[in-house]
Amino acid sequence: MAKLILNRLSKTFDTGGRAAVNDVSLTVREGGFLALLGPSGCGKTTVLRMIAGFEQPSDGSILLGERVLADAGEMVAPEHRNMAMVFQSYALWPHMSVAENVGYPLKVRGISGEKRGRKVRQALAAVHLETYADRRPADLSGGQRQRVALARCLVTEPDVVLLDEPLANLDRHLRQEMEETFREFHARSGATMIYVTHDQSEAMALATDVAVMSEGRLLQVATPEEVYARPEGRLVGGLVGQGAILSLPSPFGDRRLFDWPAMQEILAGPAQEPRADILVRPQDVEIAAEGQVATVLSVLFEGERYALRLALPDGQALRAFSRQPVKAGDRLSIVIRAAWRL
Amino acid sequence: MTRPQKQGNSQPRWLFPFVVTVIFCLSVLPLGRLAATGIMSAVRGGASELLSDPGLWRSVYDTLSTSFFGMIAAVVLGGGFALLLTLFDIRGKAFLGFLFMLPTMIPPQVTALAWIGMTGPSSALLKALGLAPPLGSPQPLYSIGGIALLYGVQNAALVYLSLRAGLLALPRDAVEAARLSGASSFQVLKDVILPLSLPGLAAGAAIAFVSCVGNFGIPAILGIPAGIYTLPTLIYSKFAAFGPRTFADISVLSGLIAILSVIGLMVEARVLRGRDYRVIGLSGQVAVFRLGAWRWLAELLLWLTIFLILAMPLIALVASSLAPAYGVPLSPATVTIKAYEEILLRQAATRIAFTNSLSLSLATAFGLLVVTVLTGYFLVRSKSRFVGVISALAEIPYALPGIVLAVAFILLFAAPIPVIGISIYGTIWIILIAYFSSFFAVSLKPVVSAFRQLDPSLEEAARLSGAGFARRLVDILVPLVAPAAGASVILVFLIACNELTVSALLWSAGTQTLGVLIYNLDDSGSFNIAAALSVLVVIMVIAMMVVLELMAKRLPKGVVPWRS
């Protein structure tokens, strides 16, 4: 195993138009779990398919350690990459039993008899499907099919495991269960995993690294904590986590993280150009005396708290949480404990 | 282990040259040879005389009208059967489907003979029942309507198979989702099932139309006595009256048919364009609607149809074969099996014809399957811009009447093959090559639609499992398209076995096929012997279908088309 390197990767389809993937450079460390996060159509699936070898890059290259997997001129066929993938549609072969599906990569590698049987049983045990070995995929539920697909990845100890929105077709309860299975799988196999999703909470919960993409470009790669706390640019700030982006007069200097005194200064200052985008997370907005005045626009009860939408005097919206019930139209005093300049 | 390859797609390097070579040999070469002859005759001015002949345009009109109405009849019959048998809770589905397949598998000339035996003043059956019209009254089937009706009966199963394949691939949840949206059964049928199965229906209608245009047996037997010439029979009659301008004339005529066919194919392509109803992952089983109080009516309708299009003509055929001579009333006193003794015991020609037809059809069906699985895979998966051209070229030999193709192969092989210096003209090999060319599209179509409906991720998963092309083909692709491949083999075998048009021009002593023998017997006035041979052919067809039926449990699901 080795690290996976995407070097200035680009892809333009023959059908014309803009590049589906544009100049993406990225290194996934060995054993890392990278989530490719972005809205649909951002090029994340194309990146995944290039890593798998189903699409050839128009420019740039893909390396696994020292070995060049693909560039614009040549590429290694998917069958020689020692990768595995969980497809959104699961891609189980309907004419084979569960055990045959899982054992197929071994069969292709010429492993037969008791050795294959043992490995298949181990893989099925890892996803808690030992008793389903002789069933057909058609007789399984969505979550079970997903786990069979995962077992098929597990069975050959691949260098890289690719997951293409694997939870998109599952219900919320199964998602949590499968997230747990994926984490377990990652810990157990130590494989490098790349996970495509448009769901930021999935990305946050699973990955060791998050790469945020939009319109074919890579916006930021960092740990989930880093991406959450220190997002780069308006797009990432809007995509990751909840929060409101305020347009405020640009403060002087390189400072990016502001506490309440600094924010107070900015909010109270003259409305001058240039302006900066400042991200305020709802948990950093505190309802406290002697703060900024804001009007409640709407209230949503979430069980453990109330989620508020507030309006500042200049009309800009802000989000906050409250332990006490409030009504739309109430005027509150708020203190912004932390804010981040995008 | 590292083996770089140039393309990002899944095809091995040899596939494109292979497909191009196949298409070149089976389509471009014979048709090019024909076109060259046609263009030469046009340049020399001979064509204007032919094209100003009103008889030619009359024949174009008759071809189009019989084929159009034949297609409508096939769509009504085949579409109705496919919908009723696939979607509703009809009893005895398997048996009805089995019976409905029969008329297609019976050769057209046999169908025509059977229907003639059922109607008209000389019908042995009607005479035996005392229902025959007076002598001298016209045979009602010797007409445009009669030809179209028999076209419909003959080709209904093509529409049935195509629509049924589409319906069986429908995901059940699509139907259930519509149901839950509050749609009634009728609305589900109208808004979900019919739109989703439209590609299957349109493809079936196109196959049926193309097959009607190319039909020779029915208009030869029904049209020629009434002076109705469709383009294939016009070409045949020009060939029979062989003259110095024959090759030139029929090459121009076939150019005309090629244009008609290409227009038809373009219409079909336009209907299907942009409708990629690929079933994702696993397709569920088909939803079955309850007919309730209407069920007995639907069943009555189905059985009545079977009786009219199958049982009656076959009874008439048997009656004709047992009559001592054409027009003699059949009664216990006149029943004779002389005709059967004649063909079974006295004529070696029958045995030769059976052997020839069976071996030619088997070789064609299985030989073509190997070629069409590879070609179909290429056509669906390739991003090459030649795909459109290649699939059009693959369609054309079948779209053309077999007689045109026969002429093309005569022109091509009249002289010994260059370089190796062997002449296959007059041998069985020229018929085999012509069959390969002619039935390529028949074999290809089910395979291509199966590949179209295959979720590409099923193959991609196999690639990531490490399976190379040959391995994927054997383990994943062939099992998944097996139902379509089975349908393809059966269709090709039965069409080839029943075929008359190609071999009518290509046969010579010792290489006659069943179709040729039956036509020659009828043409020479031995109606009862022709009927007896036809009965044997029908028995052979039914026997083979029963064998398939018995094998069906061991075959992959869907291989036998009338079983689900």
Could you tell me if residue B2 is inside a domain? Answer: no
Q: Which of B2, B387, B465, B557 to mutate to test the interface with A (most CBs of A within 10 A)?
A: B465
pLDDT profile of chain B (564 residues), mean per 10: 49 88 92 84 74 86 93 94 87 87 86 87 77 78 93 90 77 73 78 78 83 86 89 85 78 76 68 51 56 87 94 90 78 81 81 89 93 91 84 81 81 81 87 92 83 86 89 90 80 82 84 88 84 88 77 55 56
For residues B59 and B133, give the distance between their C-alpha atoms in angstroms, rounded to a whole number.
Answer: 30
Find, in chain A, the residue whose alpha carbon is nearest to that of B12: A77
Taking the Cβ of residue B49 and every Cβ of chain A, the question of whether any pair is shorter than 8 Å is answered with: no
**pLDDT value at position B561?**
57
Buried b (16+ CB within 10 A) or exposed e, B459-473: bbbbbbbbbebebbb
**In sequence order, what E strands does chain A have?**
4-11, 21-28, 33-37, 59-64, 67-71, 75-76, 83-86, 160-164, 192-197, 209-214, 217-222, 244-249, 257-258, 275-280, 285-301, 306-311, 317-322, 331-336, 339-341
Locate B478 and state its tokens.
């062939």
As a CATH number, domain A242-341 is 2.40.50.140
In the predicted model, what is the mean pLDDT of chain A?
86
Please write the tens of the pLDDT for every residue from A292-332: 888 899 898 888 888 889 888 888 888 888 888 888 888 88
**What is the Cα B58 distance to its own chain's centre?**
26
Strand partners, A279: A245, A340
Q: CA nearest A162: which of B476, B465, B381?
A: B465
The answer to whether B329 contacts chain A (CB < 8 Å) is no
Q: Is the Cβ pair B465, A82 closer than 8 Å?
A: no
CA gap A137, A121 in Å, rounded: 16
B475 contacts A82? CB cut-off 8 A:
no
Of the candidates B8, B284, B457, the beta carbon closest to that of A87 is on B457
Backbone torsions φ then ψ of B119, nearest 5 degrees: -120, 175
**Tokens 């740039």, residue located:** A60
B464 touches chain A (CB under 8 A): yes
Whether B1 and chain A come into contact, CB under 8 Å, resolves to: yes
Structural domain including B285 reads 15-39+57-236+245-551
Predicted TM-score (pTM) of this structure:
0.74
Residue A110 Ramachandran class (φ > 0 left, ψ -120 to 50 alpha, else beta): left
Residues of A in contact with B1 (CB under 8 A): 80
- Mean pLDDT on A254-262: 83
CB of B432 within 8 A of CB of B360?
Answer: yes
**Where do you find CATH 2.40.50.140 in chain A?**
242-341
Within a domain: residue B350?
yes
Orientation of helix B514-523 relative to helix B108-118, angle to 10° = 40
pLDDT in tens, A141-150: 888 888 899 8
Side-by-side strand order, sheet with A257-258: A244-249, A275-280, A339-341, A257-258
Q: Is A189 exposed, middle or buried (0-12, 13-18, 19+ CB in 10 A)?
A: middle
Environment class of A20 (CB within 10 Å of its CB; exposed 0-12, middle 13-18, buried 19+): buried
CB B409 within 8 A of CB B30: yes
Q: CB of B420 within 8 Å of any CB in chain A?
A: no
The interface predicted TM-score (ipTM) is: 0.81
Chain B: residue nearest A84 by CA?
B464
Residue B190 counted as domain residue: yes
Distance, in Å, from the CA atom of B241 to the CA atom of B244, rounded to the nearest integer, reads: 10
* Closest-CA distance of chain B to residue A203, Å: 23
> At B479, which CATH number?
1.10.3720.10
Could you give the maximum distance between any two Cα atoms of chain A, in Å? 79
Q: Which residues of A touch B467 (CB under 8 A)?
A: 79, 104, 108
- Classify residue B310: in a domain, yes or no: yes
Token pair 């040879």 is found at B33
CB contact under 8 A, A54 and B463: yes
- Portion 138-197 of A in contact with B at CB < 8 A: 138, 149, 152, 156
pLDDT at res. B4:
43
Cβ distance of B2 and A67 shorter than 8 Å: yes
Do A80 and B8 make contact, defined as CB atoms within 8 angstroms? no
pLDDT the model gives residue B356: 92
Closest CB from B455, B480, B556 relative to A89: B455
In a domain, B23, yes or no: yes
CATH code of the domain made up of A4-231: 3.40.50.300
pLDDT tens, A201-217?
Answer: 888 888 889 999 988 88
pLDDT for A41-84, tens place per residue? 888 889 999 999 888 898 999 998 888 898 888 888 888 888 88
Q: Flag if A94 and B2 touch (Cβ within 8 Å).
A: no
Which pair of tokens denotes residue B103?
A: 């008329």
Residue of A54, A92, A111 to mutate for B, most B C-beta atoms under 10 A: A54
Interface mutation target, options B464, B469, B474, B478, chain A, most CBs of A under 10 Å: B464
Give the sign of the dihedral formed by CA B80, CA B82, CA B84, CA B85: positive
Using DSSP's 3-state secondary structure scheme, residue B466 falls into coil
- In this prediction, residue B9 carries a pLDDT of 63
Tokens 């025959």 — which residue?
Answer: B132
- Window 261-300 of A: residues touching B by CB (8 A cutoff) are none
Tokens representing residue A327 in the block: 């009504």
Report how far apart the first and last C-alpha atoms of chain A are (Å, whole number). Answer: 37
* Per-residue pLDDT tens over the stretch A113-170: 899 999 999 889 888 888 998 998 888 888 888 889 988 988 888 889 999 888 877 7
Establish if B561 belongs to a structural domain.
no
β-bridge mates for residue A301, sequence order: A306
Domain with CATH 3.40.50.300 in chain A: 4-231
Length of chain B: 564
Q: Which residue has the higher pLDDT, B547 or A218?
A: A218
Q: How many domains does chain B have?
A: 1
B383 touches chain A (CB under 8 A): yes
Whether chain B has a CB inside 8 Å of the CB on A84: the answer is yes
- Supply the pLDDT for residue A179: 85
Cβ of residue A323 closer than 8 Å to a chain B Cβ: no
Rounded to an integer, what distance in angstroms lies between the CA atom of residue B21 and that of residue B16? 9
